[in-house]
Structure 1
Amino acid sequence: MTNEKRRRGFFQRRTALQALAVAVLITANAPPIYNFVSTYAHEREINSDDYKARHGHWQVIELPSDVRINAIHAALLDTGKLLLIAGSGNNRAEFEAGSFRTLVYDPVSGYTKDVRTPTDLFCAGHAFLPDGNLLVAGGTLRYEVLAPDVTRAGGTMIVKNESPDDEPRTFPKGTEFVAPDGRRYVAAAEFAVEPATKTESRRGTVTVTASETSLWVDAVEEGSGSISATPTQYAITGLTGVDRQNLYGLADKMTLDKQDYQGTKETYEFNPRTEEYERVGDMAEKRWYPTLTGLPDGQVLSVAGLDGAGQVLDGSVNEIYDPKTKKWTVQPDLDRYFPTYPALFQTSTPGRLFYTGSSTGYGPEDDGRQPGFWNIEDNRFQPVPGLRDADLMETSGSAWVGPVQDQTIMVVGGGGIGESARSTSRIDLIKLNDANPRFVPGPSLPEGTRYPNLVQLPDDTTLITNGSRDYRGKGNSDNHNARIYHPDTNTLEYAADPNIGRNYHGSAILLPDGRVLTAGSDPLFRDKDNLIPGEFEQRLEIYSPPYLFRGVRPVISAGPASVGYGDVATFTVQDNYAGIGKARLVRPSAVTHSTNVEQRSIALDFTERGDQVTVTIPAEAAVVPPGFYMLFLTNRMGVPSAARWVQVVD
């Protein structure tokens, strides 16, 4: 045998042995290698151009560790930057330390700014004003304390003033109230007391009605000795003479029962140009989990929430903010109860709001759950029928469908009251301008979904993303899926799966470039057996819808920065090879707890001549409330431009 044949035989035997060894290795390690190959194939598929054009694409964004934030609230400013509000971030230690956070983030440049946050805006309400400022009202006065951890008795103190000749008086946090038997209680926050009111009848009879304000007080001493089970009148320490007689406290009881979260009445406007909070007039009522709804005249209605004693507000103190005076006015004729964070939308009819039944957080199961029209001119409420799974509306999502002129709203998902494990995949729709409006069934989500986020896209579709099957993602129940709803066919289209699960305190917002940013998530646990405490999700994720992978985008290169009602405005458009198919004004979002009553898309009539597109602004402020909007022009291939900011003014 020649040396060449010997070498060939040796190499053949060695190759065979190597192949056998590899085969044994593969057999021994089949699952890991299979998973690696499977993961590689999946990554290759979802990053392919064809897949992106059919289903879109997600990208995880991790901010530097020193600026990451618990994004409880998210709003898009007219500068294109995002306002991410944490306040105390659902973190008791941060609350007790007085450490409150707000971050301004530019998703294009990566710019961040840590904004001085003057109070705990955790679980406030918000709405945009005509000048682009974001009104932020309410927040957290006190964190929840469970009964076993309550060491000092507490309760609601009603402070009265019987003097009509007194001036308004402010008392500091820690003001002491003393019972006849010497038990002492202190105010948990600063409070103000107005003078009594004096009225005179036609016959000359004078009637004095004491003013009153409520606040929470805690016992000075620990233990059961601080409990009071009977109505008691309390003296205010430091007052003497006639003041001591006119000003006093009343409380029905002081207990060691569970103490709920409590709201504040503080109100701020966030200025996108200075990127700072500006203090304005306080609300009349303390609110935690309120909804703020913008009205056609630029004013803002505030409803619902937990008060300064942790009780769900009864609806008798709904109030309106005037951005011109920067003050709130109580609306005594608008007596309407809602559970916390109700989804309350301005319809195309002035003075007429629509409540979808969606809410988050607090309220009894048998009160304030019926969807319907609320007329804020005469306080009438008209219920609407047809809603399926009506007992599974808490933590559901609600949004306009397509242009607001169609007056169609969708309700998506939801679950049972409180810490219920029940959830629904239901999508129901209602056309508000029908002769007899009622909910009708739409397509179903692939699984039960609490905390869904709904985002209106410039092509009239709606992205429905994330959520969880169980309360706050218990049992590893986050839904890693997304769907795109098509109103023209009443169908759901599969969208790429998000990488990050999001449940409670998750949010999603349309960006000016047509992408969608998601943030937040606050699971109770991070294991299937619910043993390991959850961690707040601080990563962001951006979804690029399929329309961004389907060709050249038109570019709006010039046009007016502001328009009036009924105006005709012309914009210069480049790269408009396919011609324009749709023109939409999209209001920027301000979202928290799956509640976003700000976003709306407005269809514009338009004409096209060369590189000029002329649009007509609707004349009705109920359709287009004053403020800033993103103008999107979508070509006939379904590809939208990046937005151009336009302010709609009176």
Structure 2
Amino acid sequence: MGYRPSQQFRKTVLGAGAALLLLALNAPAALSFAEARYHAYKIGRPGYRAQYGSWALIGLPDEYKINAMHAALLHTGKVLLIAGSGNDQRNFDNGTFSTVLWDPKDDTFKKIPTPEDFFCSGHSQLPDGQLLVAGGTARYEVLDGKVTRAGGGMRVKNENPDKAVRLPKGTVFRSPSGVEYVSKFDVTVPRATRRFEIARGRGGQVLPWKTKVVAAEARVFVEAVERGAAGLTTQAAQYAVAGLTGKDANDVYGLAERLSADKQDFQGIKSAYEFDPKAEKYVPVDPMKDARWYPTLVGLQDGRVLAVSGLNDVGDVVPGDNEYYDPRTKKWSKGPSHYFPTYPALFLTQGGELLYTGSNAGYGPKDKGREPGLWDLTANRFRKVGGLADPDQLETSSSVLLPPAQDQKVMVLGGGGVGESKLATARTAVVDLKEAEPVFRSTARLPRGVRYLSSVLLPDDSVFTTGGSADYRGRGASDIRKAQFYHPRTDSFVAAADPTVGRNYHSEALLLPDGRVATFGSDPLFADKDNTRLGRFEHRLEVYTPPYLYRDPALRPVLGRGPEEVRPGGRATFEAKGARRIERARLMRPSAVTHTTDVEQRSVELGLEKASGTVTVTVPADPTLVPPGWYMLFVTDADGTPSVAKWIRVRADSSG
């Protein structure tokens, strides 16, 4: 009789086998759990943090979760997060516009009443510390195949030289054949102008003056009242304004050349506001002449701001019409003309020219306005700057004025092809503007091709880069959860700790006064690798603590009491703990960033004198290096460990 295992033995073997089977079936999950535990242990060790830094999520209550499209650091130390309608047409249709103010000191939040849809506006820091916000959304796009009513731009003429005419939203324009179109916005047409002409007889004698009336013109988007093909037209025609009679009916009329069912793009608004950091509210100022959606606002050496590009009130890229904002008068005036795609990266350079790096956010023809160059605003002359590798992959690239600003070197990082292209480049390049004939030269490559990369200047003169994706809007689960430091002096990238949150389109990053970096937003198209599930806007707020903040806190430089204002070329003395260890001082302009575009941030080297318990800094006298406004003053030791910043205002003049 052969051996028969006992019942207990059989149970033991079966139990062990079942356990082994379960372990085999769950091995990937068990391994992943073990790897995650080990990774958490590794990145939490002091040695790791001292080399790579660390990331932390900020607890964000549900009521303050917004689609952060724009982020700006205010001179109060708080961060303004602007969503507007947040790329959500339901919010737009409901008039639900959002702004949240975050205080990084204690991680508190506050809702700010938002008067208009600032989604995809422009912003710039003003000399007095206000934040200019201009443009935004008047209408969401309607894609091909979804347009049910013919529409387009209607040029509204006014031939009356005695009065302007205001036509409210809903005004009806009637074609000669009786087809009606309705305006989608209010429009005001200025009064016509009179021109006096000299007439001469056959003998050359001067005849009595003749007066010629030149009609004024404005533009408004209209849609056919009836759905379908009845409203389609490719013929130029004059349109009567319903409700006008007599002389008014003759003086005011519409002109349109083509009203179609083609895709209708986003449309911009003309509105402008200043955000007051102390009162914590938006204050209206005069509107722009042109409506703008996706505009760049760049601060100039005299305190004015230049508004450039954007989609206008009929959804076309503004055709080179740019305008100045004067913060003293709160009014706009005509600027030099040049065509750019939307959100062009424009940097104020020493001497007052603007460098266009070619970085942009996308809207505009593939072959127009995309070449980098130097723009002389006074002469309105644009000189192209060549040498850039992968010039067809500048859309959604990142650009920074490398530290310190006195070196006058500007860097372009990554980018992708135009539109929904799958192309992404690892190229970086630097142009030295001190050369007689500046050209871009390729520099250290990024670890991989990336678009939507965030690049942030740090007080130790490095550039922190993080996030982005390898494909359009993170398509195919292509978010790159990596970060690295770029060191200009050695032209090299060094790895940093990996973020836990992916960031692509509609994401931002900026430097905080305590030396950390905050990251916000992301608007992926899809939520999975196969592109089968729609993506959701990223609400998590993640903050990076660089390695320099994991050094001995007792040795960290500390700035104490000192002045809050200084003139260009002026000096300022501050109490300083460990003054003799301090090696460098930097003025760092606070960010105002959106769509990978941040033309505000710059790091300016200061003269430095040390004494027992104090440091004295000297600010450059050149306002093209140090535009007027509020700055963070950082001092660092020989290892690059920064102090917490002190806020100081650089005034333009005695009245600034």
Range of TM-score over shorter length: over 0.9
- Distance in 1, Cα, partners of 2:42 & 2:530: 33
For residue 225 of structure 1, what is the aligned residue in structure 2? 230
- Distance in 2, Cα, partners of 1:583 & 1:328: 36
For residue 572 of structure 2, what is the aligned residue in structure 1? 569
1:81-123: CA deviation from partner (whole Å, max 9, x where unpaired) = 1100000000011111111101111122122111111111100
For residue 434 of structure 2, what is the aligned residue in structure 1? 433
**Contact 1:75–1:589 under 8 Å retained in 2:** yes
For residue 326 of structure 2, what is the aligned residue in structure 1? 322
For residue 590 of structure 2, what is the aligned residue in structure 1? 588
For residue 491 of structure 1, what is the aligned residue in structure 2? 492
Q: Using the TM superposition, give the Cα deviation of residue 169 of structure 1 relative to its aligned residue in structure 2, in angstroms.
A: 3.0
Equivalent position amino acid for 1:218 in 2: E
Q: Using the TM superposition, give the Cα deviation of residue 27 of structure 1 relative to its aligned residue in structure 2, in angstroms.
A: 5.2
Equivalent position amino acid for 1:454 in 2: S
For residue 621 of structure 1, what is the aligned residue in structure 2? 623
SS in 1 for 2:572: strand
SS in 1 for 2:47: helix
Q: Using the TM superposition, give the Cα deviation of residue 28 of structure 1 relative to its aligned residue in structure 2, in angstroms.
A: 5.7
Q: Using the TM superposition, give the Cα deviation of residue 463 of structure 1 relative to its aligned residue in structure 2, in angstroms.
A: 0.5
Q: Using the TM superposition, give the Cα deviation of residue 19 of structure 1 relative to its aligned residue in structure 2, in angstroms.
A: 9.5
Matches within 5 A, 1:239-638: 239-315=244-320, 317-331=321-335, 334-350=336-352, 352-552=353-553, 553-576=556-579, 579-638=581-640
- Distance in 2, Cα, partners of 1:564 & 1:456: 24
**Contact 1:159–1:214 under 8 Å retained in 2:** yes
SS in 1 for 2:560: strand
1:183-240: CA deviation from partner (whole Å, max 9, x where unpaired) = 1111111111101122224553433221111110111122211222211111112222
SS in 2 for 1:148: coil
- Distance in 1, Cα, partners of 2:250 & 2:188: 17
For residue 197 of structure 1, what is the aligned residue in structure 2? 193
Equivalent position amino acid for 1:612 in 2: T
For residue 102 of structure 1, what is the aligned residue in structure 2? 99
SS in 2 for 1:37: helix
Q: Using the TM superposition, give the Cα deviation of residue 179 of structure 1 relative to its aligned residue in structure 2, in angstroms.
A: 1.6
Q: Using the TM superposition, give the Cα deviation of residue 514 of structure 1 relative to its aligned residue in structure 2, in angstroms.
A: 0.3
- Distance in 2, Cα, partners of 1:326 & 1:436: 38
For residue 74 of structure 1, what is the aligned residue in structure 2? 71
- Distance in 2, Cα, partners of 1:628 & 1:207: 51
CA change 1:59–1:196 in 2 (3 A) is: same
- Distance in 2, Cα, partners of 1:28 & 1:183: 69
- Distance in 1, Cα, partners of 2:147 & 2:271: 26
SS in 2 for 1:33: helix
Q: Which moved more, 1:260-269 or 1:544-553?
A: 544-553
**Contact 2:459–2:640 under 8 Å retained in 1:** no
SS in 2 for 1:149: coil
**Contact 1:551–1:639 under 8 Å retained in 2:** no
Q: Using the TM superposition, give the Cα deviation of residue 256 of structure 1 relative to its aligned residue in structure 2, in angstroms.
A: 1.4
- Distance in 1, Cα, partners of 2:16 & 2:37: 23
Q: Which moved more, 1:215-224 or 1:588-597?
A: 215-224
1:101-158: CA deviation from partner (whole Å, max 9, x where unpaired) = 0111112212211111111110001101111111111101110101321111111000
For residue 4 of structure 2, what is the aligned residue in structure 1? none
CA change 1:209–1:572 in 2 (3 A) is: same
- Distance in 2, Cα, partners of 1:22 & 1:222: 67
SS in 1 for 2:148: coil
Q: 2:90 aligns with which of 88, 93, 105?
A: 93
Structure 1 position 55 matched with structure 2 position 52: yes
Q: Which moved more, 1:29-38 or 1:564-573?
A: 29-38
Q: 1:127 aligns with which of 120, 124, 128?
A: 124
SS in 2 for 1:558: coil
- Number of aligned positions between the proteins: 631
Q: Which moved more, 1:34-43 or 1:293-302?
A: 34-43
CA change 1:559–1:178 in 2 (3 A) is: same
- Distance in 2, Cα, partners of 1:112 & 1:153: 44
1:274-332: CA deviation from partner (whole Å, max 9, x where unpaired) = 111111011000111110010101000011011111111110x211000111011113x
Q: Using the TM superposition, give the Cα deviation of residue 415 of structure 1 relative to its aligned residue in structure 2, in angstroms.
A: 0.4
- Distance in 1, Cα, partners of 2:147 & 2:35: 53
CA change 1:29–1:187 in 2 (3 A) is: closer
For residue 5 of structure 2, what is the aligned residue in structure 1? none
Q: Which moved more, 1:141-150 or 1:450-459?
A: 141-150
Q: Using the TM superposition, give the Cα deviation of residue 22 of structure 1 relative to its aligned residue in structure 2, in angstroms.
A: 7.4
Matches within 5 A, 1:148-187: 148-166=145-163, 168-187=164-183
- Distance in 2, Cα, partners of 1:150 & 1:370: 34
- Distance in 2, Cα, partners of 1:505 & 1:86: 10
- Distance in 2, Cα, partners of 1:349 & 1:161: 43
1:47-103: CA deviation from partner (whole Å, max 9, x where unpaired) = 111111111101112411111010000000111111000000000111111111011
Equivalent position amino acid for 1:321 in 2: Y
- Distance in 1, Cα, partners of 2:25 & 2:293: 58
- Distance in 2, Cα, partners of 1:262 & 1:165: 31
Equivalent position amino acid for 1:38 in 2: E
1:500-533: CA deviation from partner (whole Å, max 9, x where unpaired) = 0000001001000000000000000001111101
Equivalent position amino acid for 1:60 in 2: L
Tell me the TM-score normalized by structure 1.
0.95
SS in 2 for 1:459: coil
- Distance in 1, Cα, partners of 2:73 & 2:139: 28
Name the % identity.
51
**Contact 2:295–2:308 under 8 Å retained in 1:** yes
RMSD: 1.8
SS in 2 for 1:51: helix
CA change 1:182–1:26 in 2 (3 A) is: closer
Equivalent position amino acid for 1:170 in 2: R
Q: Using the TM superposition, give the Cα deviation of residue 467 of structure 1 relative to its aligned residue in structure 2, in angstroms.
A: 0.3
Q: Using the TM superposition, give the Cα deviation of residue 37 of structure 1 relative to its aligned residue in structure 2, in angstroms.
A: 2.0
Give ranges in structure 2 of 5+ residues lacking alignment.
1-10, 200-208
**Contact 2:511–2:590 under 8 Å retained in 1:** yes
- Distance in 2, Cα, partners of 1:27 & 1:506: 41
For residue 45 of structure 1, what is the aligned residue in structure 2? 42
**Contact 1:517–1:540 under 8 Å retained in 2:** yes
- Distance in 2, Cα, partners of 1:158 & 1:600: 42
- Distance in 2, Cα, partners of 1:96 & 1:21: 58
CA change 1:607–1:264 in 2 (3 A) is: same
1:231-274: CA deviation from partner (whole Å, max 9, x where unpaired) = 11111122221111111110112211111111111111111111
1:407-459: CA deviation from partner (whole Å, max 9, x where unpaired) = 01100000000000110011111111112211111111111101001100001
1:532-587: CA deviation from partner (whole Å, max 9, x where unpaired) = 011000001000011111222211111101111111110111245x6111100000
